[in-house]
Amino acid sequence: MLGRTANGLYWMFRYIERGENIARLIDAGLRMSLTRSGTGDDDWDGVLQSAGVREAYDEGHAKLTRADAIDYLLRDLSNPSSVMSCIDSGRNNARMVRTALTRETWEATNECWIELKALLSKRLKAAEMPEVIDVIKRRAGLIRGAFHGSMLRNELYNFARIGTFIERADNTSRILDVKYYVLLPSISQVGSSIDNVQWESILRSVSAHRSYSWAYDEEYKAANIADFLILNGQMPRSLAYCYEKIVSNLGYISSSYGGERLSAHDTADAIRTSLQTRQIKDVMDQGLHEFLEDFVNRNNQLGMEISDGYRFYV
């Protein structure tokens, strides 16, 4: 398979996943704001930092406000990580590899682009946000469903899945990091009702509220929620689950190429092992923010190794 085709599929699904997860990040920020008094504009500093676009935002805005931050994350095409930019880029990649996709996958991608282009053509009011975020999540789910239900299980499928899970692991880390940045008024409120509500908001933003109660059967606790989203291999947005899928799909590709292994296989194995053998107490002792920062760097390194190893730009 041409590296260019692998690159197109890998990035198509990274962009679709990123668009959905930026919407989930906005949702987390909105839910956090509800636990605060005042305008809550300062909370969006943390959301922008978690999305990795704080400095870029400052270049085009004199002041940080909630409305501007949401607009920048949602529909500003000068921001390559905005939802609309991601959907645009995802569709462009899909068009580039059109002959490698089933008709159902292409139509789901194109219809997503058409609906969101119309929906995000104007600045949105706060009351419209919940419905818009639901549309973005639903459209991204339809693309994944069409792809999963109609594609042959070959290396095309494997590269798309790797792109999905590398991006999802990155974004789950960033959504968890919002909790670090949106600090409580004082350390004395750790474990308080406000603290618990904020952790619950994190769960709701990744659609994990109900499954958390199935897995832990007790009230919200920071350590349990961090454990759920980092180390629980049954949770489809956890880092552990993402790395199970990345390692298995890299393994299928290796088999397709006669058992060839690249540095990416060793890096993915090492990250998966560290997630399988670590306890949540170790993560908390290291510091949640420090752990997540280190994970994001290692996850990025794996992405570069896959790109180099499979010659995406040849």
Cα–Cα distance, 179 to 184 (Å, whole number)? 9
Compute the average pLDDT of residues 257-276: 94
Compute the average pLDDT of residues 260-267: 94
Q: Is 208 helix (H, G, I), strand (E, B) or coil?
A: coil
Judge whether 195 and 189 are in contact, CB under 8 Å. Answer: yes
Say if residue 186's pLDDT is above 60.
Answer: no
Share of the chain above pLDDT 90, in %: 68
Say if residue 230's pLDDT is above 80.
Answer: yes
Residue 66, φ and ψ in degrees, nearest 5 = -60, -45
- Residue-level pLDDT at 185: 46
Cα–Cα distance, 98 to 106 (Å, whole number)? 7
The listed range with the strongest mean pLDDT (10-14, 29-33, 213-217, 308-312) is 10-14
Judge whether 271 and 298 are in contact, CB under 8 Å. Answer: yes
Range of the domain at 35: 1-310
| The token pair that represents 121 in the structure block | 């053509």
Query: What's the DSSP call for residue 7?
Result: H
- Residue-level pLDDT at 177: 83
How far is the first Cα of the chain from the last one, in angstroms, to the nearest whole number?
A: 11
Judge whether 165 and 246 are in contact, CB under 8 Å. Answer: yes
- Residue-level pLDDT at 199: 81
Question: Per mean pLDDT, which range of 3-17, 74-88, 188-202, 241-255 is the poorest?
Answer: 188-202
pTM comes to 0.90
The one-letter code for the residue type at 53 is V
For the stretch 71-93, pLDDT in tens is 999 999 999 999 999 999 999 99
For the stretch 100-145, pLDDT in tens is 999 999 999 999 999 999 999 999 988 899 999 999 999 999 999 9
Question: Per mean pLDDT, which range of 44-58, 163-177, 243-257 is the poorest?
Answer: 44-58
Averaged confidence pLDDT in the chain: 90
Question: Per mean pLDDT, which range of 183-187, 196-200, 258-262 is the poorest?
Answer: 183-187
Say if residue 312's pLDDT is above 90.
Answer: no
The one-letter code for the residue type at 84 is M
Say if residue 40's pLDDT is above 70.
Answer: no
- Residue-level pLDDT at 39: 59
- Residue-level pLDDT at 238: 96
Compute the average pLDDT of residues 2-18: 93
- Residue-level pLDDT at 184: 47
The listed range with the strongest mean pLDDT (3-7, 179-183, 216-220, 302-306) is 302-306
Alpha carbon distances (Å) from 92 to 85, 97, 112, 308: 10, 9, 13, 22
From 183, 267, 282, 184, select the one nearest 227 (Cα to Cα).
282
User: Higher-confidence residue: 36 or 210?
Assistant: 210
User: Higher-confidence residue: 131 or 176?
Assistant: 131
- Number of domains making up the chain: 1
The set of residues, in sequence order, having a beta carbon less than 8 Å from that of 15 and lying 6+ positions away, is 86, 87, 89, 90, 93
